[in-house]
């Protein structure tokens, strides 16, 4: 039994009576606690707290629940877990508002209090970009659950009739609405309808479908793109949302279309370009997107680059007919490309053909060789765009190397070295002018390579310094010395000659011209009077010529010869001594003879006969040697000597000739020098009695009678060098410490293309009195290529045959590469 609420009075009745009546208990009325906690409208179980709640459902008569909207809600079941807690399973959705409860128990009714609050749903404003054909996520608070009848009412600023085909209630803070149609750009607002709440004034923005925007991209594209990336934002992902995408250009009124347009995402579209829609003009690319209910653009999103030519200062040979123009965004088909090539020398260089290799390379083929100067290229392409001229290479002017080497006046070919010489199809005019202002024709001109030109000569070269200049298209080379043509040198000769004589005169020397255009030879006398030509000039070699002299018109005295050639002449040199009639003159002779000499010849003019000629001898040694006259003619006296009376020293003579006008006498003149003879061993420097050295040379203080052809021969210190063929020594072979040698290109590798023969000539040696054999000995260090690529020779002049006789020529089947000083020995007996 459940006690009713109120005071309980008890009376105890016994056999003999009853007790007094007294309150023995008080059952209080139940009291419910107020609860303002917010609960969702789809709550199914409600917990109510209070005091003095019945311990079981038997103690309760019912619970009354009433919403603030006047709706009664019952408990399908309830329970009392304790005297302070009860639970009620609701049989209906709680409308928005407050929920009040009253508990009925036997004998009492509890207080009526609010036990729960169902808050109104709230939608949060959202201005984020909205996918126009998909769904919108609605966020808020107190959103009803799936068991609550809910309606999301949508309104679009551009169209009507937008509803949610499905409404997914994800949580009390999020719902997802799927549209029933695609949305054009505009604002989408919504409000929510739930039981007990339908206030349209609470509609808020839940998303915005923005008009697409194009983002300008500074990256460049070519004029013939296959695909263009269109960058921007708010792009519609669904192809059905847009109807067309049109390309236009800031620099041209033309328009293009995409063969296909792919919306990758809301910020990127790719436009594929058909070849029929190319090329694009240079400049900004604009896009216009036509959509359902709106149009986006035109807006710039990319830039077509003009041709960008790479600058290059690389050297270009003048004969390079194909020019490579490198760069980026160079126009390829079907874009037009007009290539303009110009030179800083003001010469246009049209291309005969243009090969567009790629967007990074164009080739221009020239029909003629390139002019000197900077080569610039510019490209004109579609819609009149012309790129800025850019230097793509430099054609350098020829540079001639300075060369002060000597060449003979009869040289037929001169090698000119340098750089940047025009070759192949290029032409270059070579102008050679001498210091005597004579222009030399270079015929023929052979362009060997970019570093060598061979200039051929068809006539005698003028004396002096030769300067050369190469003139080619657009400019010319430097004007520089390329050779020196030294004047002829005539060796002195003190041969005596009488008046009224016609004889052939042999002039020895160097740099004599050997050419059909023979020089003139003029003979003058120190005794005065007019000069006379030496007629019938014959060029024997570069070291000798002959001509015929007539002394009839010449005054007695030293006769000098001058060789006149183009551009200059030799210095006058004494070649004869013209002796007046009646005078006796002895020819000096400083030849060294052995003290074993038995016969001595005195040469001169004005001699008589054995009967009227007397020779008076004077010697530097004592006693004076014994001599007798063997024979006499007008130019020679032969004396017989007694060797036992000869000693080292000089022998001089006075020749007296008795004539019609009295005695004529010569001056005291040295006619011989005697020595016992010695031979220097080049290894030790010791003397060896019994042999005689006609010539001994260490080149420490070289005999001035040595003659070197102008060019590579020189006398100087040894300098080591390593060449393709052979080496040069660092030390000479003597022990005097001077380290002097005679050699070709000492310390420098010899030019293998030099085409002239060059010699070194020793002083003349008179060996007619030698009683034994004669031998030429010298130390050699030779590096020579195969003959005839390189010729090394040793020759000896034979007075009898009047020609040079070969002693040695390098072999034609092997190199000569000495690595030490080699003693060479050649007998001269033959």
Q: How do residues 310-368 score in pLDDT, each as one tens digit?
A: 999 998 888 888 999 999 999 888 888 889 999 998 888 899 999 999 999 999 998 88
Write the DSSP symbol of residue 725. S
Give every CB contact of residue 321 below 8 A, 6+ residues apart in sequence.
Answer: 365, 366, 367, 369, 425
Structure tokens at 340: 């303009």
Whole-number Å distance between alpha carbons of 156 and 244:
24
**Number of C-beta neighbours around residue 97 at 10 A:** 21
Question: Is residue 686 predicted with pLDDT exceeding 60?
Answer: no
394 pLDDT above the threshold of 70:
yes
| Confidence at residue 677, expressed as pLDDT on a 0 to 100 scale | 43
Which of 726, 721, 716 has its CA nearest to residue 784? 726
- The C-alpha atoms of residue 189 and residue 125 are separated, in whole angstroms, by 9
Check pLDDT > 60 for residue 31: yes
- What is the structure's pLDDT at 680? 29
What residues contact residue 50 under an 8 Å CB cut-off, 6+ apart?
30, 31, 32, 33, 84, 86, 103, 110
Average pLDDT over residues 199-225: 82
Q: Which of the two residues, 402 and 148, has the higher pLDDT score?
A: 402
Distance, in Å, from the CA atom of 291 to the CA atom of 297, rounded to the nearest integer, reads 11
Give the pLDDT score at 3.
56
Instruction: Quote the pLDDT of residue 379.
Output: 92
pLDDT per residue as tens digits for the range 422-466: 876 667 789 999 888 889 888 888 888 888 999 998 888 888 889
Average pLDDT of the residues in 506-525: 83
Dist CA 795 CA 762 (whole Å):
11
Q: Given pLDDT bands bounded at 50, 70 and 90, which one contains residue 678?
A: very low
Tokens 């594209």 correspond to what residue?
221
Distance from the Cα of residue 48 to its chain's centroid: 94
Q: What is the pTM of this model?
A: 0.54
Arithmetic mean of pLDDT, 704-725: 83
Pair 39, 101: CB distance under 8 Å: no
- The pLDDT, as a whole number, for residue 756 is 64
Q: What is the mean pLDDT of residues 718-726?
A: 86
Of the candidate ranges 19-33, 57-71, 809-823, the one whose mean pLDDT is the lowest: 19-33
- Give the lowest-confidence range in 249-253, 641-645, 786-790, 824-828: 786-790
Gap between the Cα atoms of 693 and 592, Å rounded:
10
pLDDT level of residue 683 (50, 70, 90 thresholds): very low
Calculate the average pLDDT of the chain: 83
Q: Is the dihedral of CA 400, 405, 406, 412 positive or negative?
A: negative
Q: What is the pLDDT of residues 582-596, one digit of tens each?
A: 788 888 887 778 788
Mean pLDDT, to the nearest integer, of 70-78? 86
**Among 183-192, 292-301, 498-507, 530-539, which is the least confidently predicted range?**
292-301
- Greater confidence, 526 or 147? 526
Specify whether the CB–CB gap between 507 and 522 falls below 8 A. no
pLDDT in tens, 765-809: 766 555 567 888 899 999 888 766 678 889 888 766 777 888 888
Of 14-28, 116-130, 505-519, the range with the highest mean pLDDT is 116-130
Does residue 8 surpass a pLDDT of 80?
no
User: Which residue is associated with the tokens 């400083």?
Assistant: 590
- Answer for the pair 316, 394: CB distance below 8 angstroms, yes or no: yes
pLDDT, mean of residues 6-11: 65
Q: Provide the token pair at 123.
A: 């939608």
Dump strand ranges (E) for 633-747: 636-641, 649-659, 662-665, 669-675, 707-708, 713-717, 721-722, 727-728, 740-744
Higher pLDDT, 699 or 772: 699
Structure tokens at 680: 């220097």
Average pLDDT estimate for 244-258: 89
Rounded to an integer, what distance in angstroms lies between the CA atom of residue 349 and that of residue 366? 7
| pLDDT(598) > 80 | yes
Sequence-distant (≥ 6) Cβ neighbours of residue 502 within 8 angstroms = 548, 549, 550, 551, 552
SS3 108: strand
**pLDDT, tens digit (0-9, with 9 covering 90-100), for 520-577:** 999 999 888 899 999 999 988 878 899 999 988 888 888 999 999 888 888 898 888 8
Cβ neighbours of residue 292 closer than 8 Å, sequence gap 6 or more? 182, 184, 240, 241, 242, 243
Kindly state the average pLDDT of the residues 181-194: 85
pLDDT band at 676 (very low <50, low <70, confident <90, very high): low
Of 468, 427, 226, nearest to 332 by C-alpha is 226
Torsion sign across C-alpha atoms 767, 768, 769, 775 = positive
Tell me what pLDDT residue 378 has.
Answer: 92
Token pair for residue 133? 């054909």
By the 8 A CB rule, do 733 and 682 touch?
Answer: yes
């Amino acid at each position: 039994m459940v006690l009713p609420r109120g005071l309980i009075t008890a009376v105890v009745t016994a056999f003999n009576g009853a007790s007094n009546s007294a309150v023995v208990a008080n059952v209080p009325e139940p009291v419910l606690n107020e609860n303002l906690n917010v609960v969702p409208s789809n709550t199914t179980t409600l917990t109510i707290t209070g005091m003095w709640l019945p311990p079981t459902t038997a103690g309760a008569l019912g619970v009354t629940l009433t919403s603030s909207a006047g709706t009664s809600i019952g408990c399908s079941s309830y329970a009392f877990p304790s005297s302070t807690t009860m639970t009620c399973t609701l049989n209906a959705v709680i409308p928005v508002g407050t929920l009040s409860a009253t508990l009925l128990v036997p004998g009492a009714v509890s207080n009526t209090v609010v036990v729960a609050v169902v808050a109104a749903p709230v939608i949060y404003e959202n201005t984020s970009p909205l996918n126009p054909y998909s769904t919108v996520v609605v966020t808020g608070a107190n959103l009803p659950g799936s068991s609550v009848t809910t309606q999301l009412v949508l309104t679009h600023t551009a169209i009507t009739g937008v509803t949610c085909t499905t409404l997914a209630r994800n949580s009390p803070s999020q719902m997802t609405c799927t549209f029933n149609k695609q949305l054009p750009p505009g604002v989408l607002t919504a409000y929510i309808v739930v039981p007990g709440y339908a206030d349209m004034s609470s509609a808020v923005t839940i998303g915005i479908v923005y008009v697409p925007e194009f983002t300008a991209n500074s990256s460049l594209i070519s004029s013939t793109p296959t695909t263009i990336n269109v960058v921007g934002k708010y792009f519609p992902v669904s192809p059905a949302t847009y109807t067309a995408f049109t390309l236009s250009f800031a620099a041209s009124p033309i328009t293009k279309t995409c063969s296909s347009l792919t919306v990758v995402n809301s910020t990127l579209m790719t436009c594929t370009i058909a070849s029929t829609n190319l090329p694009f003009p240079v400049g900004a690319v604009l896009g216009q997107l036509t959509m359902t209910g709106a149009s986006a653009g035109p807006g710039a999103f990319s830039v077509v680059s003009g041709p960008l030519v790479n600058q290059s200062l690389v050297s270009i040979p003048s004969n390079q007919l194909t020019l490579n123009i490198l760069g980026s965004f160079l126009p390829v088909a079907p874009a037009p490309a007009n290539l303009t090539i110009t030179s800083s020398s003001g010469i246009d260089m049209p291309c005969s053909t243009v090969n567009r290799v790629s967007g990074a390379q164009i080739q221009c083929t020239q029909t003629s060789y390139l002019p000197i100067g900077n080569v610039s290229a510019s490209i004109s392409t579609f819609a009149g765009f012309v790129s800025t001229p850019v230097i793509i290479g430099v054609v350098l002017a020829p540079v001639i190397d300075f060369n002060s080497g000597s060449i003979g006046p009869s040289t037929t070919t001169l090698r000119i070295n340098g750089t940047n010489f025009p070759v192949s199809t290029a032409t270059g005019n070579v102008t050679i002018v001498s210091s005597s202002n004579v222009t030399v024709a270079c015929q023929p001109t052979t362009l060997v390579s970019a570093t060598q030109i061979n200039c051929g000569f068809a006539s005698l070269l003028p004396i002096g310094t030769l300067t050369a200049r190469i003139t080619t298209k657009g400019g010319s080379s430097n004007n520089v010395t390329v050779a020196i043509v030294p004047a002829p040198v005539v060796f002195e000769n003190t041969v005596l000659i009488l008046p009224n004589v016609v004889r052939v005169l042999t002039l020895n020397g160097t740099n004599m011209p050997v050419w059909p255009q023979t020089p003139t030879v003029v003979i003058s006398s120190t005794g005065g009077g007019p000069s006379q030509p030496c007629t019938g000039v014959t060029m024997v070699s570069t070291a000798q010529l002959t001509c015929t002299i007539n002394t009839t018109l010449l005054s007695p005295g030293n006769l000098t010869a001058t060789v006149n050639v183009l551009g200059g002449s030799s210095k006058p040199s004494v070649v004869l001594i013209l002796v007046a009639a009646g005078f006796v003159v002895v020819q000096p002779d400083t030849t060294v003879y052995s003290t074993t000499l038995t016969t001595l010849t005195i040469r001169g003019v004005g001699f008589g006969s054995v009967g009227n000629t007397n020779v008076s001898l004077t010697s530097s040694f004592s006693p004076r040697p014994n001599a007798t006259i063997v024979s006499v003619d007008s130019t020679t006296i032969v004396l017989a000597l007694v060797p036992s009376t000869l000693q080292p020293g000089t022998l001089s003579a006075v020749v007296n000739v008795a004539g019609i006008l009295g005695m004529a006498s010569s001056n005291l003149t040295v006619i011989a020098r005697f020595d016992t003879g010695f031979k220097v061993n080049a290894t030790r420097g010791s003397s060896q009695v019994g042999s005689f050295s006609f010539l001994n040379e260490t080149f420490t203080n070289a005999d001035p009678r040595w003659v070197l052809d102008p060019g590579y021969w020189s006398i100087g210190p040894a300098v080591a060098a390593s060449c393709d063929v052979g080496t040069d020594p660092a030390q000479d072979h003597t022990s005097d410490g001077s380290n002097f040698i005679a050699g070709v290109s000492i310390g420098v590798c010899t030019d293998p293309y030099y085409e002239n023969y060059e010699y070194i000539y020793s002083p003349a040696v008179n060996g007619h009195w030698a009683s034994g054999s004669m031998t030429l000995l010298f130390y050699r260090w030779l590096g020579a290529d195969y003959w005839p690529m390189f010729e090394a020779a040793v020759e000896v002049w034979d007075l009898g045959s009047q020609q040079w006789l070969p002693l040695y020529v390098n072999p034609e089947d092997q190199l000569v590469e000495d690595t030490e000083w080699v003693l060479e020995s050649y007998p001269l007996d033959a």
